[in-house]
Structure 1
């Protein structure tokens, strides 16, 4: 019978094998480094997903310029966010203006009260990749950039570096009060939280990517932060994969670089598109209504063409004044025939007694006759006298 003998494994070889396995496991361990670049204190909070353990801390205070490293385990999934305007007593009981988690410093399994900017991640096990995103689906309270440091290759930086609070529509604004920022806008709600409609919450008949589409309000967030989730089914441009050993979460990052106090990690370069102006719309009715169209400009009615005044009637000369008719000539005054001067008795005609008597009668009667008759009679008298004279012996 042949004996089977075993050769002892050299201690050195065993040491190498154990070191390899140890280093392999360490290379895929994950750490979250949270950095506060804000000019004020923040209170980060963490929440583990279903079936994964909570992180070593679920809430803490982080002053401006401070950072903290929180270890995690492969396969961990959950959320990390920052609270603002918090006040807690010695027992850790209090409240926050934004991102509150049950009124306690340690969230202990409570999620963030909207609105809050969220970092969401599921870490892969072994060689499986991580899935991560920055979500504004529950609203926005602080700028947040997530920068993974990959074990293999380059990973994508994501998040939202712009201050959306400064351009938040009035109907979505959360205004700070006592203990806040002096009455300024401290957060910007999502349309789902502000109005509670299925079309904004992607619920009810809108609970699928076909019927739930980007709204006017989600578009505001998307334009400001193209790589962040803007509504529930915004997966195509907002979810990233990587195999990283560390994720740096920077609140209030600088646009052209990130200052990381107490950290040796080089700052990621963030190429954000130029900000799109955020327009403020009037408060919407349950269904969004377009603003009434501006009436088109109407030309004023054309000025009526100048009309000449009616022609002045041509001057009609007055009818000619009738020519002056001289009055009929005043009949020439006819002086009455001159009273015959006393005539000397005609000379006595001899041998004509009958004639003298006749002429005397004629003369006396001719005084009573008109001038022509008298003239004729005178002529006859002369002729008669001449005749008688010629008859004398």
Structure 2
């Protein structure tokens, strides 16, 4: 588990990095994970050997900066409603990957997934093919190419069809996929439906798409759901609007998606940095 000092509020964290002049591997990708949810989440990453062991706690309005290895391909998601003991043993309401804080495999459905394949040109998407548990957005920063914001900032839980509702303690905490519930070839895009021509949107996937137009709603939802970018860093934000100002650190500079956002954030947080520069050692 990351130490308490290694997880800070998003902007304070980035500004500390700028002040300390941190050095980051230029060929790697910097991932900034931000929790904008009202509650604590437990992000999971698979494969996660290079990401705090694949799992950690992230409290409301905190963030963490991680370095993705070159050519990494994998997925990131949030676990919710978790209860881990001091040894990292426990379980979660959604997204669990066994009974450990550190994930060694893919999470259980239903989960909202951020998926990446890092190469000369990166491919990334947010997928609801395995269902939905919380909103999730991917914002590329300083990249070349299309570099669109991917994600789902709508909340499917309040209007989840009752037959897809995943409940805990009487409350809908996630929305399952139709494939997960009904397990038919049509909903799972297999058998005679195992191709882009025969596998078409269903009433359920259309509801997902209406709420989340830049996320995968079913297996062959490629044209509006998968994005590409080169030489970029990524901000993965949980429970946030896709057009919200977010920031990351690159080449010893603070970068935000919007000049006005950067100015206002710098003015607000810069005075808080004076007593904190030593915390950069947790990110070296």
Structure 1, unaligned runs of 5 or more: 1-24, 178-182, 270-393
- Structure 2 CA distance for aligned equivalents of residues 169 and 203 of structure 1: 23
| 2:67 match | 71
For 1:199 and 1:78, the matched residues in 2 are separated by: 26
Q: CA deviation at 1:265?
A: 4.0
How many residues in Structure 1 have an aligned counterpart in Structure 2?
233
CA contact (8 A) 1:65 1:261 kept: no
2:59 & 2:205 partners in 1: Cα distance? 31
2:163 match: 171
Question: Which fold has the larger relative contact order, with Cα–Cα distance below 8 Å and residues 6 or more apart in sequence?
Answer: 2
* Residue 102, structure 1, aligned to residue 98, structure 2: yes
C-alpha offsets along residues 163-198 of structure 1, whole Å, 9 cap, x if unaligned? 111111111011222xxxxx3211000000111111
Alpha-carbon distance change, 86 to 92 in structure 1, aligned in 2, over 3 angstroms: same
1:27–1:245 contact (8 Å) kept in structure 2: no
Whether the 8 Å contact between 1:56 and 1:71 is mirrored in structure 2 is no
SS of equivalent residue, structure 2 residue 54: coil
Map of 2:116 onto structure 1: 121
Structure showing the higher strand proportion among its residues: 2
Listed one character per residue, the Cα deviations across residues 284-310 of structure 1 (whole Å, up to 9, x for unaligned) are xxxxxxxxxxxxxxxxxxxxxxxxxxx
- Would the alpha carbon gap of residues 256 and 120 (structure 1) be closer, same or farther in structure 2, given more than 3 Å must change? closer
Q: Select the residue among 92, 100, 107 that pairs with 1:112.
A: 107
Aligned counterpart, 2:222:
235
SS in 1 for 2:53: coil
Q: Deviations over 1:121-170 (max 9, x none)?
A: 0001xxx2100000000000000110011343562111011111111111
The whole-number CA distance in structure 2 between the counterparts of 1:157 and 1:256 is 8
Scaled by the length of structure 2, the TM-score of the pair is 0.76
For 1:35 and 1:120, how far apart are their aligned partners in 2?
Answer: 16
Change (3 A) 1:256 1:207: closer
Cα deviation, residue 260, structure 1: 6.3
| In structure 2, C-alpha distance between the alignment counterparts of 1:221 and 1:194, rounded to whole Å | 15
**Structure 1 residues 225 and 96, CA gap change in structure 2 (3 angstroms):** same
- Secondary structure of 1:171 counterpart: coil
Is the contact made by 1:37 and 1:259 (CA closer than 8 Å) also made in structure 2? Answer: no
Point out the structure with max Rg over C-alpha.
1
| Cα displacement (A) at 1:267 | 4.4
Gaps of 5+ in 2: 1-23, 260-284
Report what 2:256 is aligned to.
Answer: 266
Q: Is the 8 A contact 2:135 2:153 kept in 1?
A: yes
Partner of 1:30: 29
**Structure 2 CA distance for aligned equivalents of residues 55 and 130 of structure 1:** 19
- Residues 255/158 of structure 1: CA separation in 2 closer, same or farther (3 Å cut): closer
